Each structure stands twice: as C-alpha cells, then as structure tokens.
Amino acid sequence: MLEWHVLNETFEKCLKCNACVANCPITANTLAFGGPKHLGPERARLVENQNPIDDKRIEYCTLCGTCDRSCPENVPVSTLMAYAKMRHQEQTGSSFRDFVLSNAELVGKMASGFAPITNLAMRTKPVRIVMEKVMHMAAERHFPAYRFKNFNRTFASSEAKAAEIHIPKLSKRKVAYFVGCYASYNAPEVADSFMQVMRFNGISVLKPKQKCCGIPMLANGRMKQAAKNAAYNCEQLLTYVHQGYDIVATCTSCSLALKKEYRSLLQSDAAKELSAHVYDASEYLRMLQENGEFNENLAPVEQTAGYHAPCHMRAQAMGSPSLDILEMIPGYSIQDLGEGCCGQCGTFGFKKEKYAVSLQLGKRMAESVHALGAETTVTECGMCKNQLDQLTDKPVRHPLQILAASYQKAAAHAPTAARI
Amino acid sequence: MYDLVVIGEGLSGLLTAIAARKQGYRTALITKGAGRIIQSSGLFDLIPGSDSDLDAWFRFHHLTSNQKIDVAAAIDRFKDLMNRLHLPYSGNIDHPVSVITGSGHLKKTVLYPATVTPIPDQGCAVIIDFDELSDFQGHFAAANLRADRPQLNVHWLSLHLGIHSQRTLNQLDFARLLEQEQVRRTCIRQIRDQLTERRINKPDLLIFPSVLGADQWQKVVGDFRQAFAARLTEAPGLPPNASGYRLFTALRCEAMRLGVRFYLDAAVMGGEIAANRLLSVTYQTSFSTGKLSAAYFALATGGLLGGGLEATAEGVRESVLHLACDRTGHVTDLPGNLYPIGASQGLAHTACGITGGVFTLLSSNQALRAMDSEREGRECHA
Ligand SMILES: Cc1cc2nc3c(=O)[nH]c(=O)nc-3n(C[C@H](O)[C@H](O)[C@H](O)COP(=O)(O)OP(=O)(O)OC[C@H]3O[C@@H](n4cnc5c(N)ncnc54)[C@H](O)[C@@H]3O)c2cc1C
C-alpha cells in the first residue's frame, strides 16, 4: 500500500491556527465537509500507529490545495487529504459514477469517437434525467462538448499547419507537449493555438506518448491508478528530457501533477528530475521573454478581458505568467478577477450531491465577471471554463488562443516581416 | 522582472503590495502562508494589551512628534482604501475607544470596522450567544463585561439554530450562516422571544461574537439593526474571527485585482546581497526552488509569530534572509533597498507578542515613501 513516511512528521507542525479552514472554499459553502484541519493534520495525528479510520466526509475535498497555500507552517494539508481520500476509496470502493468520472481519458476517447451523438445525447433532457437517476450526475450541469476531430487525430495536420508559419530563426529549444485530456478531446483548438504559438517562437513541438495526468483519479481517491499513470508518464517524458526537450502543458492541473504530485506519488529520483523540466505554457513563454528569446511581434488585439486564475495555477508558485504574457499584446486589457475557486473543481461539480455546493461556490466568480463587465474571460483550465460557460454569458478563452490570434494577425499584416 | 518583491502575506505585506501597485510598481508578493491577520480581530490597536495613549505609543516605538503627520497620513490612506473596498473603518488616533473582546473584557483600540461599536458606559446591552458555537461563551463574557462596566445593564441570551454540521462550528461558519436570510429570521425571532420573556424592553446595544457576515456584512448588520433599532457590535475572540477574515479577503482580493503577482506556498530561504543591495531572494516550494529579483524588497515576514524571527539559545535570529540583527531582532546590516515593515522590525515593536495594527500602517507608508524618494533620486541621478 502507498504510504508516505514523510507525512508522519509533517502534520506535527500544525498549530491549529485555522488559516486553512478559514480559506477553504468547500468549508465556506457546506457544513457537510469536515474541513482541512480536521480531516488533514488532525486525522493524521489521531490515526498514527493505530488502525486507519475511514471518514466519509473526505468526499467533499476537491484537492484544490488552497489549504496548502494558506498554511503558514508548511503542513502538506492537501497531500494528507489525498491519502484520506485513498483510504476512503479503499474501504468503500468507487461508485460506478466516480470510476467513470475519474477516467477522463477513457471517457474522452469513447465520447469523442461518437462525438456528434454523445454531445447531442448529453444535451437532451431524458438522457440527463437517466444520468441523474442511474449515474448520480447532476441533470442541470452542462458538460463540455467532445470533438470527433480530437487532437490525437489532428496532431499531424496541426503540426503541418504550424510548419507553414515562416519564422526568421529557429530556436534551439525543443518542446514535448503534454496535451492532457481536455485539450485532446474537448478543446483541440487550445492545442492548435499552442502549436502555433510555439512555432511563432521558432520552437518545434512533438507529442510524446502520454496518459491522463492522474489528477481526476487522485481527486476520486484512486491513488494507485494515479500512481500507475504517473509512472507511465514519468518514464515516457523523461526519455524526452534526456534528449534535451522541455515538457510543456497547457492545462494547469496537468502541469501541477507533473511538477508536484508525481513527486509524492512516486517518491523517486525520476519524478524529481522530471519535475524540474516541466512548465506551464505561459510560464514557458515568460521564461523565453526573460531570456530575450520571445517573439514580440504581436499585433494589437483591442479587447477587454477578466482573468480567472485556476486553483492549480496558483499552486505552482509562479505569479501569473498568463497575465505577464497577455499584457504584452498591444491594446489588450486584462484584469485579474481576484476571486478564488470556480466551484467546478474538476469532477466535483458533475456530481449530483455536490452540484448545489458547486453552483454556490461559482456564484462569487460569476458575480465578479459580471461586475468587471469585460468582453471575454480568460482562464487556463478547461474545468473552470466549464463552470464559467454555465454561469456567465461571456466567451471564455485559453490565454494561448489570444496569443495565437495576435501572432497570426501580425503575420497577416506584415507577411514580409514574418518571413525574413 | 519586478520593481518590488514583498515577502509575507500579513497585514504589512498586503498593504504594502497594494500601495506599491497603486504607485505603479510592478509588484510580486511571495509568502509561505497566510499572515496572522487571518487570526486577528481586524482591529487596529496602538500597543496591544495596554490602554496607553498616543504619546505612550510614540515613546514605545521611539517616534518623534514630527512624525505625527505621517501617522495621520497613513491612517487617512487606510481609511480611503477601506471605504473603496466597502469595509469602512472608523476611529481617531487621538481618542482610543473601548471595544469588547471575545472574553467580554474591554480593550482600547483606535481603528475599527463598521461591524464594531465602542462600548458605552451606561444603558442596556444584550450579549447574543449560540448554543452550537463553543468558541464563544456568552455567560462568561457577560460577567466580565459587567465587571468592566458596572453601570452598564448587561444581559445574556443564547440562540439555538438546530444546525447539523459535520465539523465543530467556528465564528466564521456562523458568519456565513447568518448571511442566509432564513437563519437571520430565526435569530431575530428567538431574540425577540427571549427579550420579551426576560422583560428586557429596548436594548441599546446587541453584542455578537464575531459573526456578522463574512462577505455580506451590510445585509446582516442592516437586518439586525432594523429589527431591534439598536446598535450592534462584534466581540472578536478565538480565531477565525469574521472581522479578521473580512479584512484579509478584502485586501487580498484588491491586491490581485491591482495585478500583484502572488507566489504562494513558497518560503524565502535567503538572498543575494552585493554592494549593500539585495539583488534577489531565493525560495523553495514543496517541488521547486526559484529566484526573484527586483529593485526593492519589503520584508513583511512578521516577528516571532509570523516566522520572520526565530528565538534560539543564542538569541533572536532573522530567519528569512539571515541578516545580522541585535537581540531584539532589529536588523543591523540592512541592505539599502530592503524595507522591514510591521512586526519584522523586531521585538521592540511588539507587546504581548504582537505588533499593533497602527504601527504596521505607519511603517508600510514610510517604506513606500522611502522607496519613492530613492527611486526619484536614482532617476534624477540617471
Ligand atoms: C491572534 C492575533 C490577534 C491580533 N489582534 C490584533 C488586534 O486586535 N489589534 C491589532 O492592532 N493587531 C492585532 N494583531 C496583530 C496583527 O494582525 C499583525 O499580526 C501585525 O500587524 C503584524 O503583521 P505582519 O504583517 O507584520 O506579520 P504577520 O502577520 O506575522 O505576517 C508574516 C508573513 O510572513 C510570511 N513569512 C514568514 N517567513 C517567511 C518566509 N521565510 N518566506 C516567505 N514568507 C514568510 C508568513 O507566512 C506571513 O504571511 C493580532 C495578531 C494575532 C496573531
């Protein structure tokens, strides 16, 4: 069984100051949750050297990690929570629904294979009612659409299209793109934008073999499966690291998994090594900019936008690289919405019994979008987008989509400049 | 990449980051966790745990009387900010007022939010408790208040909301519950019934634990005020207090909206100093290490409580950048572009272990002024 011996010491640092409790978005919205202090360090202290205790209340934790960011004593609260989730899943098993939800990749493959039918079916009321009755999925919840032309099918053409972009000097950098389930099956346009932005920066991209990053599994207590995926991805990606590739992801949950979660899941030197070579896409571009390698030939995009920072972006201790990058586009005006968790929380917001909490949580974010009154909303996370799409009437874009549009416009207006 | 890197997310760090952004500094805030502000009462005292006045405070912090203007400016600036954030603060530095704490004892403070009202000498006060809230003990509070205010007619009543919870409820939980209209109505009805039963005619002041709404305090305060035509106050005690939480979230949200870049769950482990200037700080997270460079740095790491200072067998140590300091934790070899703010100025500025909020306001303002004039000087020079 997975155990992390390090945990046995780290929870002792908890002073019960309640900073994690006060900031926890789930605690703020339901009394059904035991709270991070109690289910994290306090529970760990209680069961040390004793029979493990299963606690159903852990089901409400979304592993957003706000507790980690609030704790002044460096207690790895969310990791303790992940172990409590695993314990609960081991004792009670996964419901069919949670099993399905945690298999984002499998679902993506199947749903995109029959995309027109799946999407249509998911939108019809009888199907939704059956889903709620049989699967305990919230009937009112909107689901992201699946694409028949998923990125696995379109990578080659996307690559060919990107190759048509002529750029003056090719960078020495090479990128292995961790696409993730969302950009693969639901939003290949994000992946396309990534390919183009990289190309505009003279960087060639390949798509290594990869499995789901494992975050949905972790969130549903299926830690062993998450560890399996972690081991697979770690091995695949490291072969590219050893050939001088940088690993870049457009989904901030994926990049968090590769940087942080794999280190505690695998506890191996390989995971540590991989972690040091992983970048979020905007973080990568910002790094290029700092090194004077960034293509600054950006055409104006006259638009106002609100930025929603995903929890798993905040967890990466990197400032707000998407804001840094987008602020370089002339005419583009973007402001951080300043709110916390969106409430979708990955698979959480699809679940019938969590749906009301999910909506209530999203209310503040939706209000801030409304109050700002910008034309669009920008966020890196597909699941945050799902909630934004349902709760607001503004179009939601990935930062790289904005950047790609600016580059394309620049190239179209000054074809010679781009071709020199 | 940044003009200013602020280390610490307490009152000092957040205020400094906000003010710097407003002055156009590209600002990052790096912290290993939330500051003590989230455990605090949200009140701004002169010398915590003491009834001393402004003169005593000046002596305590070794300030000169011509700095009085600075203090007034810092307070005005803070009040303006909080008005804008819809969390107005009142108070006058020359006239500390008595407010109630969670224990029922009174203390002096100079700045307090709109959910807090000074305690009068006379009249009728009713302390409202909740059966389901163990962090506040209304009958003790009533006894202590009676001792502190013998002329005040103090009553105590407890409400039973019949709430089922999967965790022990704290004040912040109640603050969120009271944002539900249904819950407020139940409270109002029970208070009315108990007032009638006890033949309490018209209370002048209702005293709650620190629960008067988390985000929507106006609604909560407004409803109770209207129902009883009485003034309202909170008695902050065991954390989390809604009053401290409101201040923290309002400041943090403002900092984010202004574009402060947050590096969270990242502990600063040291810095690179050359020619009396701090060039960069290094930090560590649970999965990475990194470096942030800037023209200026604010050390807002708190004192012993915040983690900026450490008490060892050899004495007090500055534990973040490893700077030399005296036995009170006052840094003695301060790089020219590093500004210690609030509790990080050393133990001489703390009483009962904490630094009063007013000193934090002043030191943040002073640091920004100094940064500005240094920047101007450099620009002129250039
Ligand atoms: C229980 C309690 C009640 C209080 N009540 C009142 C009151 O009624 N009235 C009043 O005036 N004041 C009160 N205060 C004091 C007030 O809230 C602040 O503590 C005080 O103003 C000092 O704030 P600070 O920002 O300087 O430090 P802190 O709030 O201590 O913040 C220090 C910050 O630095 C960070 N940090 C430390 N080391 C590192 C590192 N190596 N790397 C990165 N980050 C680091 C910490 O995580 C934290 O975010 C209270 C404090 C407490 C604890």
A–B: how many Cβ contacts below 8 A?
119
Q: Residue A33: helix, strand or coil by DSSP?
A: coil
Token look-up 């032309």 returns A149
- Residue of chain A minimizing CA distance to B27: A319
Helices and strands (DSSP H and E) totals, chain A: 25, 8
State chain A's maximal CA–CA distance in angstroms.
Answer: 71
What pLDDT score was predicted for residue A418? 46
- Pocket around ligand 1 at a 6 A CB cut-off: A 72; B 7-13, 30-37, 39-41, 43-45, 48, 239, 267-268, 300-302, 305-308, 320, 342-344, 354-357, 360
Spatial separation of the C-alpha atoms in residues B380 and B382, rounded to whole Å: 5
Q: Residue A36: helix, strand or coil by DSSP?
A: helix
* Sign of the four-CA dihedral B255, B272, B285, B11: negative
All domains of chain B in start order, with CATH: 2-85+246-381 (3.50.50.60), 117-235 (3.40.50)
- pLDDT under 50: residue ranges of chain B: none
Domain with CATH 1.10.1060.10 in chain A: 5-92
Spatial separation of the C-alpha atoms in residues B175 and B193, rounded to whole Å: 22
CB-CB under 8 Å, A21 with B259: no
Single-letter code of the amino acid located at A379:
T
The CATH class of A303-412 is: alpha beta
**B298, B339 in Cβ contact below 8 A?**
yes
What sections of chain B are H helices per DSSP? 11-22, 54-60, 68-84, 138-148, 171-177, 181-197, 217-228, 242-257, 357-381
- Chain B residues in contact with A22 by the CB 8 A cut-off are 34, 38, 172, 239-240, 245
The CATH class of A151-210+222-290 is: mainly alpha
Spatial separation of the C-alpha atoms in residues A101 and A217, rounded to whole Å: 8
Spatial separation of the C-alpha atoms in residues B233 and B291, rounded to whole Å: 45
- Go through chain B and tell me how many residues it has: 382
Spatial separation of the C-alpha atoms in residues B319 and B197, rounded to whole Å: 58
List the pLDDT tens digit at each of the 420 positions of chain A.
445 555 556 788 999 999 999 999 999 999 999 999 999 999 888 887 777 778 889 999 999 999 999 999 999 999 999 999 999 999 998 888 998 899 999 889 889 989 888 888 888 888 888 889 888 999 999 999 999 999 999 999 999 999 999 887 778 999 999 999 999 999 999 999 999 999 999 999 999 999 999 999 999 999 999 999 999 999 999 999 999 999 999 999 999 999 999 999 999 999 999 999 999 999 999 999 999 999 999 999 999 999 999 999 999 999 999 999 999 999 999 999 999 999 999 999 999 999 999 999 999 999 999 999 999 999 999 999 999 999 999 999 999 999 999 999 999 987 554 443
In this structure, what DSSP letter does residue A49 have? Answer: T
What pLDDT score was predicted for residue A1? 40
The CATH class of A5-92 is: mainly alpha
Spatial separation of the C-alpha atoms in residues A22 and B172, rounded to whole Å: 7
* DSSP-assigned states of every residue in B199-261: T----SEEEEES-S-SS-HHHHHHHHHHHHT-EEEEE--SSPPHHHHHHHHHHHHHHHHTTPE
Cβ-in-10-Å burial (0-12, 13-18, 19+) of B75 comes to buried
CA nearest neighbour of A89 among A47, A52, A50: A52
CB-CB under 8 Å, B307 with A72: yes
**From the CA of B310, how many Å to the nearest CA of chain A?**
14
Q: How far is CA A323 from the centre of its chain?
A: 17
**Structural tokens at position B107:** 């203390």
Spatial separation of the C-alpha atoms in residues A254 and B119, rounded to whole Å: 54
| Ligand 1 center from residue B253 Cα (angstroms) | 18
What pLDDT score was predicted for residue A53? 77
Domain with CATH 3.40.50 in chain A: 303-412
Burial A327-347 (b: 16+ CB within 10 A, else e): eebeebebbbbbbbbbbbbbb
**Structural tokens at position B347:** 């133990």
Domain with CATH 1.20.1050 in chain A: 151-210+222-290
Token look-up 């003491």 returns B50
ipTM (interface predicted TM): 0.95
